[in-house]
Structure 1
């Protein structure tokens, strides 16, 4: 029993994540246009009409831009918590009531042998939450868009076989960059985004013996670079005794190019 997944797109211009089991296939978020989402799926050899639904993390446009279009075109169920539904209803257009499902925070929903666990994060949205997927003894943790990683979050995602982990910005680049101060302050705040170094420090508390893959996600196009993020995370991990390439590998994500479909 394998759990397959791909980070279809990750970054401030749009986010989406695909996963499948032998019996089900889902998206988490649809933050690009419907046409772009179709293109991303085709790059991994999949089609949107094969989906069983879409899970929503929060109502920011880079996570829901194509949500309404896909729901209407493919008659897909959408799962989100109540506050997120209220925040995004006017943003996604009309969605039929029988496609709307409430997925509370700190809850578990089961689809056959796939258990999906929701958990809250710290971000400036109505009630942002991310997901851990449990299947066949495997665990996949997806967490971006949080200003910090609390002990509670760490406890939920700890010892996953694979992580999709926010590594949004380099603090120096952000501080010296072109963003106005109010935006910089928001990104650096407890309801903003996690930096490369803070991401790595959090990883040292959650990497387990079975962890094999860590994807660095939601990189800022203005305040980060893939090589810089990878180097910073590797160095911080190494300083705590975690050597990349021994039991786990680091992988990049991209705003426009999906990661290869892999199984854990």
Structure 2
């Protein structure tokens, strides 16, 4: 099995993930500048010309900032649902018609040996989605920008071998922070972002004996810290009867300013490729 991935960047300043098999290399979002995306790809042993397609989650700038420039520069097809395409029009500039591909929410597409499945999520965007990736029986789930963990999302990401899950904020840090109250309400609402506590509750329900690693993603630089996020999700899992053992499940960080190491999804631990 060759399914592997790297999170190039995660957070409010830009989001981008690369998923790769022997047959296909796909990118989720391009929330960084084209130049920075190229730099991070190079650091991970890739180039823009190696990307076979870009999967868009939604139209917020931290997910599509460099999308148009990157797609034009490297002649890469872009996949999004109809409502997201409509919302993207004024942000990404002109793309060739054959590079603008509609992928409906809930649809699955095959890219060689890599199957991609989108599923709807709750966020304040036109029609936001997250993605599952399959190679044979191997499953990787990437889900961020979740206002809340719906039954549908819970079912979609359950029993993944590796999960990239939003753990955006510590509730108390957010409430005490400097953001205006209306922004705090947006983040805390059903179309905002998943808190550390909510991420822990979700992990308690979707992590199984098959799950090797969970990456905590889209952390707020204002209202969270990596240590707090990890400790909180672990505490919540233990309070729900899932006694956390690092030898059985690793809870790992993502970064806004650098990429994660390549993760070979079926391996018991991370390996550098």
User: TM-score band, normalised by the shorter chain?
Assistant: over 0.9
The alignment covers a number of residue pairs equal to 264
Separation in structure 1 between the aligned mates of residue 258 and residue 19 of structure 2, nearest angstrom: 16
CA displacement 1:117-138 (0-9 Å, x = unmatched):
1000000000000100010210
Aligned pairs for 1:243-254 (under 5 A) are 243-254=244-255
Aligned pairs for 1:185-264 (under 5 A) are 185-242=185-242, 243-264=244-265
- Structure 1 counterpart of 2:136: 136
- SS of alignment partner, residue 49 of structure 2: helix
Question: Does the alignment pair 1:97 with 2:114?
Answer: no
Return the offset for 1:246.
3.3
Return the offset for 1:244.
3.7
- Structure 2 counterpart of 1:109: 109
- SS of alignment partner, residue 259 of structure 2: coil
Point out where structure 1 has 5 or more consecutive residues left out of the alignment: none
Return the offset for 1:79.
0.2
TM-score normalised to structure 2 length: 0.95
- Structure 2 counterpart of 1:48: 48
Q: Say which is worse superposed, 37-46 or 11-20, in terms of deviation.
A: 37-46
Point out where structure 2 has 5 or more consecutive residues left out of the alignment: 266-273
- SS of alignment partner, residue 173 of structure 1: helix
Separation in structure 1 between the aligned mates of residue 124 and residue 248 of structure 2, nearest angstrom: 35
- Structure 1 counterpart of 2:173: 173
Separation in structure 1 between the aligned mates of residue 120 and residue 235 of structure 2, nearest angstrom: 29
CA displacement 1:152-209 (0-9 Å, x = unmatched):
1111110000000000000000000000000000000000000000111011110011
- SS of alignment partner, residue 116 of structure 1: strand
CA RMSD of aligned residues (A): 0.8
Q: Is the Cα contact below 8 Å between 1:2 and 1:136 reproduced in 2?
A: no
